[in-house]
Amino acid sequence: MPGIGLLGTMEMARNAMQTARQGAEVTGHNLANASNPAYSRQRVKIESAATIDTGKGPQGAGSRVSQFESIRNQLIEDQLVSENSVTGYLEIKQRALQQAEAALGQVIDRHTLNEGGDADQFGIAEGLTDFFSNLSALSASPTDNAERQNMVFSAQKLADKFNTVDRRLSSLRNSLNQEVQDLVDDLNMALNTVSRLSINIGKSEVSEVGKSNELRDQRQSALQDLAKLVNFNTSIGDEGGINVIINDTTFIDDNAIVDGFTAFTDTDSMVRLKSNADPKVITLTSGLLQGAIDARDITIKDLQDNVNNLAKELVTAVNDGYDTGPVPTSGLIAHYPMKGNANEATGNGTNGTVTGATLTTDRAYRAERAYSFDGSSDYITTSTLNVTGSFSVAGWVKISSSASSEANAMFNQGSEEIAINIHKDGKIGFQVGGTDTNLLTSTGQFSADEWVHVVSSWDGTTGKVYINGTKNTESTTGSGSTALHNPSAGTGYIGKAVDVGKWDFNGSIADIRVYDRALTDKEVDQLHEVKAVVGHKDGKALDGTTGQDFFTGTDANNIAVNQTLMDNPSKVQAAGPSTTDEPGDNGVVLGLSRLSDSKLGVLSDMTASENFSYLTSKFGQELSLVNTQTEEQEAVTRLLTRQRDAISGVSIDEEIANLMIYQRAFQASAKLISTMDSLMRDVISLR
Amino acid sequence: MRVTANSFPMDLRNQMQDLMTKQAVLQRQAATGQRISKPSDDPRAMRRVLDINTEMKALHQYRGNLTKVKEYTDVAYGSVSALKKISDRASEIATMADDTRGPVYMKAFAQEVNQMIEETVRVANGKHRNVFMFSGTKTTTAPYEVTRTGGKITAANYEGNAKIIQADVAEFSSVPVNFLGEGAQGIIKNTTTGSDFIANLISLRDNLEANDTTSIKNTNLVNLQKDETNFITHFSNIGAIQSRLETSDAITMKRLDALDPLVSQAADVDLAQTLVRLNEIQNSYTAALQTGARLLQTSLLDYVR
């Protein structure tokens, strides 16, 4: 008989029952893993069994299970993995920045009970306003010891707040350091897990019959865990295994782990990562580790640096005094502020070398803010200033009444290529382009023994001399026969001409600035209008003593009020620096109280309070951005998870329905067996 | 899209998380009355509020300074009033001391003027809050050091200086805080007008004792008038300063009143709006819980036998 025969049919039925049973088993497996988030649902793939060749064509011989199929979409899985890196990065960064915000401790409380008085919430902003307020109150009654004590205490409160904020931010950076260290261990473990699972997958699939779905599910989960820590790329290796590459360095090559991570401490005591096999610093772009590193080294460090800068400049301004702004900065090629030394402040030129000149007080009686020249051998050498076109030279000079009546050089470049000379009869000589090009003002423009502001500018055609902010003389020609012209470069001197013993300055010079362009009239006026405000160090206490700093320390970490003043507030040097100022004077404390309104160049042309509110809001923006990004990331992750779940998730209703299908199929096949069995009996009982 | 065993509970959980977060934020806003409290809530508004608070604190301090300076001017006004009263009586005496009075009267007048000298020096050496009022910035030194002969003051030397200090009562606006006994605008001795009250009184007393009615009429009376003019000028100066202080105070108050709403705009929350939104979200939350609970319970398993 053609066909598969009775026994064949029974076998076919038996196979069908097996198929249905396996189907039910897989359904059961799905149901058991319904709540497993890493699980991808599986299906039995049922195919027709091999056909039998009959004389009348091929005849089907039942069904068989060809494979167990795992339903997953690799694209969505890969996207989930890479998004997990971003999630990890943002999560840790958000947490760290929120802690930093709490460390900064600046909040708004609208329910302050004491209107106009001390705020209930005390941040650095309140500390600054209280301090300046108390300075102002003291200026109205400078000898009042109660006001002095009040002011000193409010200063200490501010200093304490700086210390606390800095300490908390340092501690936060340290704990992030520790976290990076700990995460490196997790990272190496995660790499090992991926490698181990991949090897096992390879081993179990070596027969190439079907995929090892459970192991693949586990590996996908392990890849997601790894992604949360670092961002990486995967590719298929030469032998079909998986490669994991981080920052162009291969860590897993064809399933085998070939490299690992080590934490090391850099020169700033910050923990970083490097690879082991070929040690080099690894830069990541995403993941928990990079999130911690970025928070630690960029955002939180910026915040801490900005707070430190504010504290440092506050200490300097209060102790040493400050200059009000604004001043022209564009084109400034050399600046000698003469603050305790002849250093060059812009970094463009070299520091001045002092020969014989000594430090003295400036026009505001601030100690060591100007140089004094003796008229015979004192000078300062500046760098070679290559001023060969337009330029301006500005500065303060005080010529002595005992100076010689000839030219006293304020500034000289090269062999009189540029020469600015002060005469004690009140005139100024300005040479541009060598001897015989002297532009002279008239006499009597200023007096000896008095500070005068002098600016000399050349724009390529016209030379101008400004005295005390106002233009005095301008001309294209000098008193000689040669017209003014562009100078040649050469060494610069403050206080003498190039030749020995010529034009030696007798008197004091302060704050020399050289620009590579001709300043405008307005800019010259700005420079002249700069007020030199005296700091605490140059003030006088009630008993006439002087020289004490108000703040000790150099930055937010160690700023504190001088203990001498804390112990005895009468030692606060509130009186002005002039020798005729008496204890009832308030010159210094009035100047310091006006610091609250003064925009300082070192604080990006902002007042102290503005600078603080700026750095607070800048940090707030960073955190606000991270918050927004985290929310967006959450939305993206939810969408991808839902999509993944739609494809790979187990639907209980669906599985129950499938179970019923397999149950019926099994029943049907069982019925077929009993039918065949009865046919068989019929055949056997044939006589 | 397929909805699986996990996806629906996950969605429900996410929705509840979102609603709870929103509720927490709104509740905090309602409790504090503030829209923002930390820098990250709204960085721009935070900066604005901090800057306005700084300005408000400065304005409060200006008002504080104003009050202090007002106090000093009040005390100075009182002293000048006392001196004017003395000068009025001295002028009276100088007028009455003509040839119609006998030596007994003149002696009596001299004694009264002597007491007036003592009183003048006392007023000039007056202290307020433990500092001398009229010695310029030498506030720990009494302005007048007297020399006596036979118990009577024969000269008073000015030991103070001529320095006036300023205090800020508004941005770019400062007023003098102290007064001078002697100087270009001195109260006792005004070097610009030439009046010198104490020296004048001493001269008057000596002339009364010497019965020198000519000098009294020709010199003392004339000088006393100069002194009186000086005092009146000081009255009007002090009055002008006080008027300026009052105006400044009024302007500062107005400025403070204008600033507070700005802070409120940036930082405060509209309570009514917040409570309405909180109510809405609470309703959504309850609805989500109820519907979620119902849907979570049923599946095919309940119906398959």
Res. A117 pLDDT band, cuts 50 70 90: low
Chain centroid to Cα A203, Å, comes to 48
Which parts of B33-134 fold into alpha helices (H)? Answer: 43-96, 103-124
Strand order in B189-190's β-sheet?
B182-183, B189-190, B195-196
Nearest to A581 by CA among B130, B131, B138, B182: B138
A13-49 confidence digits (pLDDT tens): 999 999 999 999 999 999 999 888 889 999 999 999 8
Q: What percent of chain A has pLDDT over 70?
A: 98
Q: What is the pLDDT of residue A1?
A: 54
Q: What is the pLDDT of residue A434?
A: 80
Q: Do B38 and A627 touch (CB under 8 A)?
A: no
Span of A106-120, A387-401, B142-156 with lowest mean pLDDT: A106-120
Neighbouring CB atoms inside 10 A of A97's CB total: 25
Q: What is the pLDDT of residue A582?
A: 81
Q: What is the pLDDT of residue A536?
A: 94
Kindly give the pairing relationship between strand B166-170 and strand B152-158: unpaired
A39-69 confidence digits (pLDDT tens): 999 999 999 988 888 888 888 888 888 888 8
Q: List C-alpha distances in Å: A337 to A315, A465, A507, A512, A536.
A: 18, 21, 17, 6, 19
Burial A159-168 (b: 16+ CB within 10 A, else e): bebbbebbeb
Q: What is the largest CA-CA distance in chain A?
A: 156
Q: What is the pLDDT of residue A406?
A: 87
For residue B305, pLDDT beyond 80: no
The alpha-carbon gap from A37 to the nearest alpha carbon of chain B, in Å, equals 8
What angle is formed at CA A192 by the lines to CA A188 and CA A196, rounded to 5 degrees? 175
Which residue spans within chain B are E strands per DSSP?
127-128, 131-132, 144-149, 152-158, 166-170, 173-176, 182-183, 189-190, 195-196
Q: Do A645 and B51 touch (CB under 8 A)?
A: no
Q: Is the dihedral of CA A602, A608, A614, A615 positive or negative?
A: positive
B53 interface with A at CB cutoff 8 Å: yes
Q: What is the pLDDT of residue A97?
A: 96
Q: Which residues of B touch A587 (CB under 8 A)?
A: 165
Residue A338 is which amino acid?
A: M
Kindly give the pairing relationship between strand B189-190 and strand B173-176: unpaired
**Which residue in the block uniquely carries the two structure tokens 């009042």?**
A144
Interface of B with A in 154-173 (CB under 8 A): 161, 163, 165-168, 171
Q: What is the pLDDT of residue A2?
A: 67
A435-492 confidence digits (pLDDT tens): 777 888 888 889 999 999 999 999 988 999 999 999 999 888 887 777 888 888 888 8
The alpha-carbon gap from B236 to the nearest alpha carbon of chain A, in Å, equals 22
Res. A307 pLDDT band, cuts 50 70 90: very high
Pick the residue with more confidence: A120 or A645?
A645
Q: Do A35 and B60 touch (CB under 8 A)?
A: no
**Which residue in the block uniquely carries the two structure tokens 């430190």?**
A308
Q: Which residues of B touch A616 (CB under 8 A)?
A: 39, 43, 46-47, 50
B21 interface with A at CB cutoff 8 Å: no
Contact between A161 and A124 under an 8 Å Cβ cutoff? The reply is yes
Q: What is the pLDDT of residue B303?
A: 80
Res. A637 pLDDT band, cuts 50 70 90: very high
The answer, yes or no, to whether the previous bond of A337 is cis (omega within 30 of 0) is: no
Q: Which of A141, A625, A629 should one mutate to test binding to chain B, selecting the residue with the greatest count of B CBs within 10 A?
A: A141
Instruction: Decide: residue A120, CB within 10 A, 0-12 exposed, 13-18 middle, 19+ buried.
Output: exposed
A133 interface with B at CB cutoff 8 Å: yes
Span of A438-442, A630-634, A649-653, B272-276 with lowest mean pLDDT: A438-442
**ipTM score of complex:** 0.90
How far apart are alpha carbons A208 and A214 in whole angstroms?
A: 16
Assigned token pair, A542: 């009630």
B1-36 confidence digits (pLDDT tens): 788 877 888 888 999 999 999 999 999 999 989 999
Q: What is the pLDDT of residue A269?
A: 87
Q: What is the pLDDT of residue A549?
A: 95
A488-542 confidence digits (pLDDT tens): 888 889 998 888 788 899 999 999 999 999 999 999 999 999 988 999 999 999 8
For residue A579, pLDDT beyond 70: no
How far apart are alpha carbons B44 and B54 in whole angstroms?
A: 16
Quickly count helices (H) and strands (E) in chain A: 12, 29
B53-109 confidence digits (pLDDT tens): 999 999 999 999 999 999 999 999 999 999 999 999 999 999 998 888 888 888 999
For residue A184, pLDDT beyond 70: yes
DSSP state of A299: I
Give strand pairing partners of A323: A532
Interface of B with A in 1-20 (CB under 8 A): 1-7, 10-11, 14
Q: Which residues contact B286 (CB under 8 A, 6 or more apart)?
A: none
How far apart are alpha carbons A242 and A234 in whole angstroms?
A: 7
Q: What is the pLDDT of residue A113?
A: 56
**Which residue in the block uniquely carries the two structure tokens 């260290």?**
A181
Give strand pairing partners of A363: none
Q: What is the pLDDT of residue A569?
A: 94
Q: What is the largest CA-CA distance in chain B?
A: 142
Q: What is the pLDDT of residue A280?
A: 84
Interface of B with A in 216-255 (CB under 8 A): none
A625 interface with B at CB cutoff 8 Å: no
A235-258 confidence digits (pLDDT tens): 988 888 899 999 888 999 999 999
Interface of B with A in 276-305 (CB under 8 A): 299-301, 304
For residue A581, pLDDT beyond 70: no
Q: What is the pLDDT of residue B97?
A: 87
For residue B256, pLDDT beyond 70: yes
Q: Which residues of B touch A108 (CB under 8 A)?
A: 34, 36-37, 46, 49-50, 267
Q: Is the dihedral of CA A164, A169, A172, A178 positive or negative?
A: negative
Q: What is the pLDDT of residue A114?
A: 58
Q: Do B47 and A613 touch (CB under 8 A)?
A: yes
For residue A607, pLDDT beyond 70: yes
B60 interface with A at CB cutoff 8 Å: yes
Contact between A38 and A220 under an 8 Å Cβ cutoff? The reply is yes
Nearest to B282 by CA among B9, B18, B14, B20: B20
Residue A182 is which amino acid?
A: D
A374-385 confidence digits (pLDDT tens): 998 899 998 777
Span of A184-188, A599-603, A604-608, B187-191 with lowest mean pLDDT: A599-603
For residue B298, pLDDT beyond 80: no
Pick the residue with more confidence: A472 or A576?
A472
Contact between A587 and A365 under an 8 Å Cβ cutoff? The reply is no
**Which residue in the block uniquely carries the two structure tokens 């200090």?**
B165
A170-179 confidence digits (pLDDT tens): 999 999 999 9
Q: Which residues contact A161 (CB under 8 A, 6 or more apart)?
A: A105, A122, A123, A124, A127
